[in-house]
Structure 1
Amino acid sequence: MSLEPKFYLKVFRSRFPLFFTVFVAVVAIGVALAITLPKVYRAHASLLVEGSQIPSDLASSTVRTDLAEQVQVIRQRLLTRDNLLDIAYRFELYADRPDMQPDEIVADMRKRVRMDLAAGRQQATVVHLTAEADNGETAAEVANDLVTQVLKQDASFRTDVATDTLAFFQKEVARLGEQLDEVNRRILEFKNANIDALPETLDYRLGRQALLQERLAQTRREISQLKDQRRRLVELYERTGQVALPTARSQSPEEVELAELQSQLRAARAVLSETNPKVTMLKSRIAQLEATISGREPEAAEEESEDPSSGVIEAQLVEIDSQIETLENDAAALSEEIAELQSTIERSPSNAITLTAMERERDNIQGQYDAAVERLSAAATGERIEVLSKGQRLSVIEHAVVPNSPAPPGKTLIVLGAMAAGLLLGLAAVVLVEILFPRLRRPVELTRKLGITPLGTLPYVEAPGEAWRRTGVRFAVLALVCAGIGGGLWAVDQMVMPLDQLVEIVRAKVEL
């Protein structure tokens, strides 16, 4: 089926009053909004996120918070109730509305203040601050005040984190130091209490024990020999009456010379005859010595018979008993010392286990202490970096300036938008009415609906004055619609809430 522009134009002309009514109503609403909508001035400021000024491989900051998280924390601190009320009262943002409640002020301020983070791959990270007010000067002042607060919050946030980290490791080092001192004190007390059974002296005590056991065995052998000597001395005295065992009598010089001459004579006889002068001389000298010795023997025998006495055996026995007693005392002392050494040697394994456990605990604490000291040094360096503002930080790259014109959308744009919306809604209303309430306007429609072919068609002829009456009724309806819209807006502004607040609420809902 081909399009018929003339037919649709006639349909539009027949529905023009409906289109015009919708168009005028929408435009009237737009004009009312443009008139009642207050001017809003928007000021912008930008902050740049700068990287650390000190290479991280030389010294790094202890603030490792994610940038987006840090910005969110700062934003939440800025948008606290107390801070927003303080800004509103300091800059007198609601001086013309003294009846506004604090909750309403806070809700409106959170719509007027924005803080956004712009970041991208291989791009600088920028924080945008936006503030809205009824005039440009106030908007710029609020935005710059927010910039100041953001810089303070950033510096305070990073400094507090670095300071808290340093304080934590200082306490950790002090705590571990106290634990280390306590463990060392317990180890020292344990060593002092078990100084004779420490594992490090075990080898010395084992060697000492072996030496003492050897000395004890030697002492016992000496005691056994002395006891045996005493027993044999007593038996000899009881059997022979002598005080000592028979021993060879010491020879006199004459007897020694005689024995030597006899030896020389036997050697000379082996090679010389009996008549040889040397043999004769040796025989003569031997005879003289024998005569001399034989003359002294009765005297010597008499002397020997007078030497022994019964008191000698007692003196020897007393001396032997004294030696035996001394050796037995030495053996007892050696046995006692060996027993003590054995006791300490038996205690050494358990002491070694206990001491090893204590030393292992000390080594663990020492390792933690060394690590904490190292981290404390890093925390102190990080704290100095943040205090001197040498780490990552926010810096102002653009202060807020006074805006020259209100923020879009302007009143002209609102009216133009209302006109465009009126055109679209008017056309939509015409199409909707044609769909819901169709009419037979052409013979082809009559044939399609009734299934007959008409012989001819007669146009509708209006009576005189009917067109004027219909036009007047339409304009009257249009006037009533406009009056109703205007009265409704006035009633809402007076009885419900001001239209500017209503517009703000609607705009906030649309933005969400």
Structure 2
Amino acid sequence: MGQIQSIEELISLLLRRRWMIILITLAGLLGAVIFAKSRPDVFETAAVIQIEGAQVAEPTTPGGQAQPDGGGAAQILQTIEQRLTTRDALTAVIERHNLFADQPQMTSDEKLVALRTAVTFQAVDSAGGQAFGQGRSISAIIISVRYGDPNTAAELANDFAQGILDQSAAGQRDRADKNVAFFKEEEARIYDQISKLEAEVADYKNTHADAMPTLSDARRDEIVSLSDDLRQATQSLVGLQGEQAAIAAKPQQREIDKRRLDDIATQIDVLNAQVASINARKADVEAALSATPEVERVLAGYDRQLQQLQGQYDNVMQRMAEAETTQRLAERQQSERFTLLDRALSPDYAIGGGKKKIAIAGAVASLLGAIALAFLLDLAKPVVRTAAQMQRQLDLEPVVCIPEIRAPKGRLGSAALRLIDDPKRPIFGLPRFAVIAAVVTLALVLTAAVIG
């Protein structure tokens, strides 16, 4: 810190540069007061919208729990706020209220930014709290507006509040109508898919009617029956063939033997035809039975698709019933709704605190700047003024310290300790601390008067 390395040296520096510090501080204070006074007044007002719960219980959600009052208001408020603060919406508000007409130098973007900054939407949480896994529950909305004109501030707050009311009512009906239309489209689409899939299943069953899994037991029984018939026919055929061979082996055949041979031949032809028919039928039944697992697999896939579509269809029908209920509630205004609880009024006084803070900050900054300037001036011209500085700088311990001896100032110096005694020189006749106190008091009074 150069020459300043103790509290005594700092106090000595402040006393040496007291006039400069005082003048710079007073000048900074007056400048801050003038700057604060030049700033325009800002008026703040607010409108309050209350969120009323549904008069009739809302339909339950897919999770089986009813939507709590105000649960969807947070999302609705966010959507409405985004719509009200779009470029087109803010431009319409500026033209409707003729805002910033006295500031033609402002561009359109600057006006939009200024209006966005002036308007604040604040949600008030519900006292009931928020259940786990559910959305934020709010009970009221505060629309605050800060503007230079009190009447315009109130008009803007009420305008935005009315916009929220209009869009909330229209938005609820619009959402309900869209939900009903969507679920109706979904119901028609899924029903069409189910009909097409059922027709496809019917065609497949007709094509593979012999291989249906429900007929597998009957086909097995039929194969057993055919096997028995084939065995009996084979046995009969073998018997006839043996008898035919025995008759044909006789050396002399009588007429009766010839007729018997003709009967046996006829029976053998019939039995051969039966055996061929039984074998063909058995082959067909065995082929159908072997194709049954594949048919069963395909039908199981069809069943799974039908079950999924049926589940979707049932879910859509339930949601459509809930959407229709919500639509009727919205049409009758018996669902969750927004009501204007408190209109914005023109404020009587501008919001305080800003100008005083600027003046105080300017005074503090001026004081710190003056002290810093005094320190820099002292650092630019270092002078050994005390024995401690001499010993620290020159490593020499002084033997004798002679104090500063000032010459008498005559009548001006003696008058500094007296009250006014010379009418011609009233200011120089006052003590210095009295002059300083008067100047500081005058500055403070002027500051309070200007700010107030």
Same-fold call, TM > 0.5?
yes
Partner in structure 2 of residue 326 of structure 1: 270
CA distance in 2, matches of 1:13, 1:81: 60
For residue 163 of structure 1, report the CA deviation from its aligned partner.
Answer: 4.5
Cα–Cα, structure 1 residues 206 and 376, in superposed 2: closer, same or farther, change >3 Å? same
2:123 pairs with 1:117 = yes
For residue 150 of structure 1, report the CA deviation from its aligned partner.
Answer: 1.5
Partner in structure 2 of residue 140 of structure 1: 154
Cα–Cα, structure 1 residues 364 and 18, in superposed 2: closer, same or farther, change >3 Å? closer
Which structure has the larger Rg? 1
CA distance in 1, matches of 2:92, 2:222: 87
Partner in structure 2 of residue 90 of structure 1: 96
2:225 pairs with 1:219 = no
Counterpart amino acid of 1:398? D
CA distance in 2, matches of 1:335, 1:62: 74
Counterpart amino acid of 2:195? D
Partner in structure 1 of residue 77 of structure 2: 71
1:380-428, Cα deviation, whole Å (9 max, x unpaired):
444445555544443322111222233335xxx83x5566456545654
Bigger RCO of structures 1 and 2 (CA < 8 A, at least 6 apart):
1
2:45 pairs with 1:48 = no
Q: Is the 8 A contact 1:199 1:348 kept in 2?
A: yes
Pairs within 5 Å for 1:104-183 = 104-119=110-125, 122=128, 125-183=139-197
Residue ranges of structure 1 left out of the alignment (5+ in a row): 242-309, 472-512
Residue ranges of structure 2 left out of the alignment (5+ in a row): 1-6, 130-137, 391-397, 417-424, 429-452
Pairs within 5 Å for 1:377-416 = 377-409=321-353, 414=355
CA distance in 1, matches of 2:227, 2:366: 125
Partner in structure 2 of residue 307 of structure 1: none
CA distance in 1, matches of 2:311, 2:258: 76
Partner in structure 1 of residue 419 of structure 2: none
Cα–Cα, structure 1 residues 109 and 55, in superposed 2: closer, same or farther, change >3 Å? closer
- Secondary structure at 1:395 match in 2: strand
Cα–Cα, structure 1 residues 31 and 434, in superposed 2: closer, same or farther, change >3 Å? closer
Q: Is the 8 A contact 1:198 1:352 kept in 2?
A: yes
CA distance in 2, matches of 1:327, 1:426: 131
Cα–Cα, structure 1 residues 25 and 462, in superposed 2: closer, same or farther, change >3 Å? farther
Partner in structure 2 of residue 27 of structure 1: 30
Q: Is the 8 A contact 1:212 1:338 kept in 2?
A: yes
Q: Is the 8 A contact 1:23 1:419 kept in 2?
A: no
For residue 88 of structure 1, report the CA deviation from its aligned partner.
Answer: 0.9
CA distance in 1, matches of 2:51, 2:407: 77
CA distance in 1, matches of 2:346, 2:339: 20
- Greater helix fraction, Structure 1 or Structure 2: 1
Q: Is the 8 A contact 1:116 1:128 kept in 2?
A: yes
Q: Is the 8 A contact 2:32 2:362 kept in 1?
A: no
2:406 pairs with 1:459 = yes
- Secondary structure at 1:238 match in 2: coil
Partner in structure 2 of residue 37 of structure 1: 39
Identity %: 23
1:126-159, Cα deviation, whole Å (9 max, x unpaired):
3210123443332222111101112233344455
Cα–Cα, structure 1 residues 120 and 438, in superposed 2: closer, same or farther, change >3 Å? farther
For residue 236 of structure 1, report the CA deviation from its aligned partner.
Answer: 5.9
CA distance in 1, matches of 2:58, 2:239: 89
For residue 110 of structure 1, report the CA deviation from its aligned partner.
Answer: 1.4
Task: Give the root-mean-square deviation of aligned CA atoms.
Answer: 4.1
- Secondary structure at 2:346 match in 1: coil
Instruction: Report how many aligned residue pairs link the two structures.
Output: 386
Partner in structure 1 of residue 286 of structure 2: 342
Counterpart amino acid of 1:41? F
Q: Is the 8 A contact 2:28 2:363 kept in 1?
A: no
CA distance in 1, matches of 2:13, 2:409: 16
1:340-376, Cα deviation, whole Å (9 max, x unpaired):
2222222223222333333333333333333333344
Farther off after superposition, 114-123 or 36-45: 114-123
1:41-68, Cα deviation, whole Å (9 max, x unpaired):
3221112334444166588469998755
Partner in structure 2 of residue 248 of structure 1: none
1:199 to 199, 207, 213: 213
Partner in structure 2 of residue 477 of structure 1: none
- Secondary structure at 1:459 match in 2: coil
Pairs within 5 Å for 1:51-62 = 51-53=53-55, 54=57, 60=66
Q: Is the 8 A contact 1:176 1:368 kept in 2?
A: yes
Counterpart amino acid of 1:116? Q
Q: Is the 8 A contact 2:70 2:336 kept in 1?
A: no
Farther off after superposition, 198-207 or 68-77: 68-77
Q: Is the 8 A contact 2:46 2:344 kept in 1?
A: yes
Farther off after superposition, 362-371 or 107-116: 362-371
Q: Is the 8 A contact 1:112 1:133 kept in 2?
A: yes
1:316-349, Cα deviation, whole Å (9 max, x unpaired):
4434433333333333322322222222222223
For residue 106 of structure 1, report the CA deviation from its aligned partner.
Answer: 0.7
Farther off after superposition, 380-389 or 72-81: 380-389
CA distance in 2, matches of 1:384, 1:213: 71
Farther off after superposition, 222-231 or 38-47: 222-231
CA distance in 2, matches of 1:235, 1:457: 174
Counterpart amino acid of 1:93? L
